[in-house]
Amino acid sequence: MRSPLRSRRWFAGDDEVALANRAAVRSLGIELKTDEDRPVIGIANSASDLNPCNHGLTALAEAVKRGIWAAGGIPLEFPTISLGEELMKPSAMLYRNLMAMDVEECLRAHPLDGVVLLGNCDKTIPAQLMAAASADLPAIQVSGGTRRPGVFRGRRLAGPTDLWRFWEQRRAGELDDETWAAAEACLGCSLGACNSMGTAATMSLLTEALGMMLPGTGAITADDPRRAEAAEASGRRIVELVAGDVRPSSILTPAAFDNAIAVLAAIGGSTNAVIHLCAIAGRRGIELPLARFAELGRRVPMIVDVEPSGHALIDAFDAAGALPAVQAEIAEHLHLGVRTVGTAPLAEVLAGAAGRSAGGVIRPRADALFASGGIAVARGSLAPDGAIMKVSAASPALLRLRGRAVVFRGYEDLQARIDDPDLDVTPESVLVIAGCGPIGVPGMPEWGMAPIPRKLARQGVRDMARVTDGRMSGTSFGTVLLHAAPEAAAGGPIGLLRDGDVIDWDIPAGRADVLLSDDELAARRATAEPYRSPHLRGWPRLYQEHVMQAPDGCDLDFLRAPTPAHLRFVEPVVGRS
Ligand code: FES
């Protein structure tokens, strides 16, 4: 028999507290009976004018409400903070954990039996999943979908992937003022998430792969009426999940994370997803070492031909069969017995999608774009705790190299010197962008895809080796070794590098070294200036004191679940406020 609804602790009974709680809801026009057995469902809405990618979520919330009412539940929508990748500085990543706390604490503090999570832009879905994993109330994710592509001089634009390309051309002196201004009008032409396989699209698909989103819905574009249908269906479904007491803990299992990692490899997804998956898993006490990404990444071919690793955009991917078609193609690498928020077993979903991937945007395994997954893991004296590279969007000729370092310390140093005509750099150099990690900025911004020095860009150089302790946009491309851990601010070797040091890496072999002796590294470390934060108050201070490194998902140490006791979501005392 099902346990009593959690919301009954607020609303059932005859005392003044229950009456006051029922009266509060009645002021919204919703009458609750003392013997009510209808689940109260929260709708966590991260819509905001400050985040155009999430703007459409308010309309979807109405569709979710229709579904909840129709299934016999009571919807209560609440706002959360919103993390917009474009306007929020230094990086929305600084605030992902804050949003996760916001959502978790809203769930804890209120009379909710389940929740529908409305997210879209890069960090909002991971934050909501982290919260759902910690709260462990029945939950279902709905994403807002990708924006319609702008058409620029006859070509459909991948935003912001094409922005990076335009910027490269502009820096090389190949793009005039008129074209640059015209591109601006076209890049921001509709609401929704980035329409290439950036972090937002990747995380939407990985949420589906984890089993926390209705199957086949992760790639529906923002303006497609099927998205409202998916939202309404999710509203209906969450009521059933509450009735069945289906909680994230029964869905977010090690097998589910393996499935997500396999899908990440197959779709050529964003490197940022590695951090987010580690963070979500950590909330359930599940370790996801980088070695697991490397292992599954080697086995699973990349079969999705979408920007920035391929050619098409997300709308074409959706038309080609979307995630179920990908999963059907790589089914041999998936755990098909996992539980999901859907009504049908995964094997049944994939049986209906099998064979839809012949040619085009989703390729058959035999015709993969890349024999192994899109993301490789490397470690060595340059990154003892590991680093990752999106090899599917890198230059094959740069995956094995030995080159001299040109070192930049932070974004301002990079901006100040990258175009200096006297910069001692050649196409064979390795640009080092240090001081961009989780602690160092703080927030680990996407500063890793440093531009090609202008004097080289004007010679036609379009890619060169780069290494950073920061991140790069999921919509970006280039040979960039990312998330080098430990970061400079935590004493990592990347912070000890000097111009002219020799970097030697073999990414396919999983190795990334700086050719310095241990004694030399120790001597430099002994005289290095320790990182001193200017942040003495507020969230940045709390973040810097507790943030973990990239291989641990950049979560705060006290939010992870090192022991079963830490998994326990302590219910509030429901009495007078
Ligand atoms: Fe929001 Fe890309 S900037 S999804």
Q: pLDDT tens digits for 17-76?
A: 999 999 999 999 999 987 778 999 999 999 999 999 999 999 999 999 999 999 999 999
Class of residue 546 by CB neighbours under 10 A (exposed 0-12, middle 13-18, buried 19+): middle
Q: How close is the Cα of 464 to the center of ligand 1, in Å?
A: 26
pTM value is 0.96
pLDDT in tens, 466-494: 999 999 988 888 999 999 999 999 999 99
Compute the C-alpha angle 458/462/465, nearest 5°. 120
Give me the pLDDT at residue 356, please.
Answer: 64
Inter-residue contact 203 to 273 (CB < 8 Å): yes
Give the binding-site residues of ligand 1, using a 6 Å CB cut-off. 53, 85-86, 121-122, 193-194, 198, 200
What percentage of residues in the chain have a pLDDT greater than 70? 98
How far apart are the C-alpha atoms of 267 and 107, rounded to whole Å? 33
pLDDT of 1 above 60: no
Tokens 């995956």 correspond to 399
How far apart are the C-alpha atoms of 197 and 216, rounded to whole Å? 16
pLDDT in tens, 246-278: 999 999 999 999 999 999 999 999 999 999 999
From the list 124, 117, 113, 118, the residue with the least C-alpha distance to 83 is: 124
Inter-residue contact 320 to 328 (CB < 8 Å): no
Q: Give me the DSSP letters along 329-375.
A: HTGGGS-TT---SSSS-HHHHHHHHTTTTSSTTB--GGG-SBSS-SE
Mean pLDDT (whole number) for 529-552: 96
How far apart are the C-alpha atoms of 418 and 240, rounded to whole Å? 56
Q: Give me the DSSP letters along 97-138.
A: HHHHHHHHHHHHHS--SEEEEEE-STTHHHHHHHHHHHH-S-
What percentage of residues in the chain have a pLDDT greater than 90? 85
Q: Whose CA is nearest to atom 3 of ligand 1?
A: 85
From the list 129, 137, 104, the residue with the least C-alpha distance to 7 is: 137
Give me the pLDDT at residue 186, please.
Answer: 81
pLDDT in tens, 420-470: 999 999 999 999 999 999 999 999 999 998 999 999 999 999 999 999 999
Inter-residue contact 234 to 142 (CB < 8 Å): yes
The alpha-carbon radius of gyration of the chain (Å, integer) is: 24
Residue 479 Cα distances to 289, 328, 510, angstroms: 23, 30, 15
pLDDT of 231 above 80: yes
451, containing H or E segment: none
Q: Retrieve residue 225's tokens.
A: 């009426």
Q: How close is the Cα of 466 to the center of ligand 1, in Å?
A: 24
Give me the pLDDT at residue 357, please.
Answer: 59
pLDDT in tens, 123-179: 999 999 999 999 999 999 999 999 988 888 888 888 778 888 888 889 888 899 998
Give the nearest ligand 1 atom to 84 CA: 1
Q: How close is the Cα of 149 to the center of ligand 1, in Å?
A: 13
Q: Which long-range contacts (CB under 8 A, 24 or more apart) does 515-522 make?
A: 515/402, 516/381, 521/381, 521/493, 521/496
pLDDT in tens, 94-125: 999 999 999 999 999 999 999 999 999 999 99
Q: How close is the Cα of 480 to the center of ligand 1, in Å?
A: 20
512, containing H or E segment: strand 511-514
